[in-house]
Amino acid sequence: MNTVKASVIKVLDVLVRNAAYNNWGNRKDTDPKNVVGFLNFKASVYINGKKECVRIAVRMTKEGIGYVYPYYSVEVNKKRKQATR
């Protein structure tokens, strides 16, 4: 946890309501058996005058959203490796 991520967590409810849907993520073998997958969202925020990209993953379970804690995963400006062919 760092100060940038802590700032995002503080307004997570607002970000989730206003984020743009990005894609669906399938469950991994290491996830609990009742996890169906993840709804992935993106949002932009300004922290200390700098624009930051926030990725939010919402865990979907057979029982509904967030039945198994934790149900949100948040990343700030974490770049993913691009797939190579």
Residue 84: pLDDT band by 50, 70, 90 thresholds? very low
Amino acid at 35: V
CA dihedral 59, 34, 68, 32 (to 10 degrees): -90
Residue 70, preceding peptide bond in cis (omega within 30° of 0):
yes
pLDDT digit string (tens) for 30-39?
A: 988 888 898 8
Amino acid at 54: V
pLDDT of residue 21: 92
pLDDT digit string (tens) for 39-76?
A: 899 998 888 888 888 888 888 888 766 554 446 677 78
pLDDT of residue 79: 59
Domain ranges in the chain? 3-76
The answer to pTM > 0.85 is no
